[in-house]
Amino acid sequence: MGYFDAASSAPLHPVARQALLASFDEGWADPARLYREGRRARMLLDAAREAAAEAVGCRADELVFTSSGSRAVHTGVAGALAGRRRVGRHLIVSAVEHSSVLHSAEAHEADGGSVTQVAVDRGGAVDPAAYGDALRADTALACLQSANHEVGTEQPVGAVAEVCREAGVPLLVDAAQSLGWGPVDGGWSLLTASAHKWGGPSGVGLLVVRKGVRFAAQGPVDERESGRAAGFENIPAIVAAAASLRAVRAEAAEEAVRLRELTDRIRARVPRLVTDAEVVGDPVRRLPGVVTFSCLYVDGEALLHELDREGFSVSSGSSCTSSTLTPSHVLRAMGVLSEGNVRVSLPPGVAEEEVERFLAVLPGTVAAVREKLGAPVSETVVREADVLVVDSLGKRCPIPVIELAKVIGDVPVGGLVRVLSDDEAARLDIPAWCEMRNQEYVGEEPTEKGTAYVIRRMS
């Protein structure tokens, strides 16, 4: 079966399984106790911390284990902000951070703090100069992911860290997606990660706070994990997480070359196999196993179901696949097409034959979904003066774009089409369609119901 969603959670590494089973017999006792069983548990915990710290590139006493990667982020952001409260309450994040970072930012703002979101380019990367422009005298903390979880784009962490260092502002790096491939370079101050992203067990996160960084843990604390992660340590899971991180690192260089070739193959062939498809994310500075593309005139949820029936597990940032009916904040920030979005994230060890089978199956599944959505729309089109109006109110992605595509040829070059839509995804997908089709996106106008998106035919 083609499990192609490793960016969500990687399959358990064989070394993690072995370490988990072995440590059940030795790591069940309280590592804070001085008797024999406690000392054994403490030795396992200390060895795991040393191994994880070596992989991260930090001191062992700078690293604590948390109950998840999200918990590490929440603890890290809250603690760093509290530790620097005398400086100010301004937080900087990028527009494409993981939801755990954005949720922390929302909580900070609700508590009276201020937040600046740094925009990204169409490839999903930030400009280090933009972080410099966002810095203020009252900036307490800046956050930046090492690589994006949806499109795979790697961020210029080193350059941003240098900008922050010169301003005396700590930088927290969310390294969840990249830590299995190698350490994060640059002068970062705090780092978080999650074991299930590199093939360790779920329920283990890492939080690193460099010596000298002001940090005040929030909420009730106890004596465990330097007071930064309360509760009894899950030692078998921690041991398995550290063991698997060391194992995947040993395999990373060779496997990265192989996975990059496979994703390059997908990036090159999808636009040739599927008409009206756009590959998104930086083509060079990206994670080895992640490739994301979007297909016009396709319902994302329907496409995922079709691929699942063919034996492929992928994910999507389309609004059609979310309960909020809004497109992914990452795709929205990049300004790229969201409808029919597919993220392929290959797990280490995936067979080349499975990738080839995916490429063979994809065109047919896309065509089948498009055929189901190809209903006539003539009754939704009217003329108002010299403008063609398409009424797509009450219709969800990708119907508004399909209806636009069907009528654009009915207006003369230079003529206008107004698409009426109350679907939030249209705000992203209609401009993206215009760019793909070399048509002019004039803008949007408020209407009594929904929004009117105005397009000028250029060719």
* Catalytic residue IDs: 320
User: CA 144 to CA 131: how far, in whole Å?
Assistant: 10
- Using CB atoms within 10 A of its CB, is residue 220 exposed (0-12), middle (13-18) or buried (19+)? exposed
Say if strands 290-295 and 277-280 run parallel, antiparallel, or are unpaired. Answer: antiparallel
SS3 category, 180: coil
CA neighbor of 125 nearest in space, from 105, 167, 97: 97
Amino acid at 65: F
CA neighbor of 62 nearest in space, from 70, 183, 54, 158: 54
Contact 287, 152 (CB under 8 A): yes
Contact 456, 439 (CB under 8 A): yes
Cis peptide before 398 (omega within 30 of 0): yes
* Residue whose structure tokens are 């074991």: 195
Q: Show Cβ contacts of residue 319 under 8 Å, excluding neighbours closer than 6 positions.
A: 300, 325, 326, 327, 328, 338, 339, 396, 397, 423, 424, 425
User: CA 372 to CA 207: how far, in whole Å?
Assistant: 47
